[in-house]
Homo-oligomer: A and B are copies of this chain.
């Protein structure tokens, strides 16, 4: 067996994540590894915490990156906050709401589902109704930015409803953090998790989380131990906590954290609001381009995410072929539809470093050529293609 070093192709990552990683972040990841208890490393951890507090817009002391991908951040919330028998109202409007439900089941909680159509935001009235019927519910969980459909739900309102019914709110912000307005303290979110590889444009593998005092209080009063040793926050905090004496819990992914640190430095340099504006502004250019090709969005404009665009597959072409040609001929990755939407939509991400006018321009042009090629209509205009479809 003679395996050679791996040299990846150079892609433009316009799928649902990972997004393009800036050379500064890649360079940071290649800096010399030091120990996870080295004083220099501990100082860097403090900076990561402070910058994550800025990104989440929170003063929560318990704010840190979980040493594993977003799914583990999700699991961190559920294994710590849900005790066996706890009723949890889970709002489902796509794949990731469904995954939350699965997490509730795994830890012995009782999920109550608020169903919403895929492509719609979570309906606050339905949540209100459900909580009215389930007065013993302890928690509400929902996805802020549903990556499988490109929908934004009204996190502020949903959290308010949860609190009116004495429930804590767990929010999935995997795709929203750094891309659209998200204000953990102002909106009173109790527990939140995200991912490093979306709008933060770091490499995949880390999951920023934040918990407020109410959430910590619930964890403190658990009757049963947290079913995961690795994700037990009472232990993890001995390492990431505020005390100057850090206790070894697990070996932190040192170089991955260098990368996250640099990505967060870049977010600070740009400014959070500027980043939100860039995502919105670039989305408008993509929308114009998509519409000029006669293509349609899955999601109504008012609840569309600017940076995760679900586009209905045009008639007469195979979406797998579109993706394959874009990847092989243009080195552009876009995403497929998931679950019920597989084959019916493709997903265009404009997250973090990917969110640049030059990428919009490239994609619209490449997409036009690809669709024409698949339809055998090379040379026609977008309007002609649209009328052909109609």
Question: Which of A's residues lie within 8 Å of B, judged by CB?
Answer: 1-11, 13, 15, 17-18, 20-21, 24, 26-36, 38-41, 44, 47, 50-51, 54, 67-72, 74-75, 79, 99, 102-103, 105-108, 195, 197, 203-205, 225-230, 248-256, 258-259, 261-262, 264-265, 268, 327, 333, 338
- B204 lies within 8 A of A252 (CB): yes
Name the distance in Å between A293's Cβ and chain B's nearest Cβ: 23
Some 13 contacts from A to B, beta carbons below 8 A apart, are A3-B264, A5-B28, A9-B40, A18-B251, A26-B33, A67-B69, A68-B69, A70-B250, A71-B230, A71-B250, A74-B230, A75-B229, A204-B252
Neighbouring B residues of A32 by C-beta, 8 Å: 8-11, 21, 26
Which residue of chain B has the shortest Cβ distance to A7 in the bound complex? B31
A261 and B8 CA atoms in complex are apart in Å by 12
Cross-chain contact of A71 among B51, B226, B229, B333 (Cβ < 8 A): B229
- B72 lies within 8 A of A258 (CB): no
Cross-chain contact of A69 among B6, B35, B253 (Cβ < 8 A): B253
Neighbouring B residues of A227 by C-beta, 8 Å: 106-108, 227-228
- B6 lies within 8 A of A18 (CB): no
- B99 lies within 8 A of A229 (CB): yes
Cross-chain contact of A254 among B18, B68, B249 (Cβ < 8 A): B18
A201 and B2 CA atoms in complex are apart in Å by 20
A interface secondary structure, majority:
loop
Neighbouring B residues of A13 by C-beta, 8 Å: 33-35
A258 and B327 CA atoms in complex are apart in Å by 20
- B20 lies within 8 A of A265 (CB): no
Name the distance in Å between A149's Cβ and chain B's nearest Cβ: 15
Which residue of chain B has the shortest Cβ distance to A261 in the bound complex? B6
A47 and B8 CA atoms in complex are apart in Å by 13
Which residue of chain B has the shortest Cβ distance to A264 in the bound complex? B3
Neighbouring B residues of A36 by C-beta, 8 Å: 18, 204
Neighbouring B residues of A3 by C-beta, 8 Å: 47, 50-51, 261, 264-265, 268
- B72 lies within 8 A of A26 (CB): no
- A6 lies within 8 A of B34 (CB): no
Neighbouring B residues of A30 by C-beta, 8 Å: 26-27, 29-30
Which residue of chain B has the shortest Cβ distance to A15 in the bound complex? B35
Q: A38-B333, A230-B72, A255-B203 are in contact. Are A33 and B18 (CB under 8 A)?
A: yes
A87 and B246 CA atoms in complex are apart in Å by 34
* Other contacts beyond A3-B261, A106-B226, A204-B254: 7, CB < 8 A: A1-B268, A6-B47, A9-B40, A11-B32, A26-B32, A69-B253, A204-B253
A117 and B30 CA atoms in complex are apart in Å by 41
- B333 lies within 8 A of A6 (CB): no
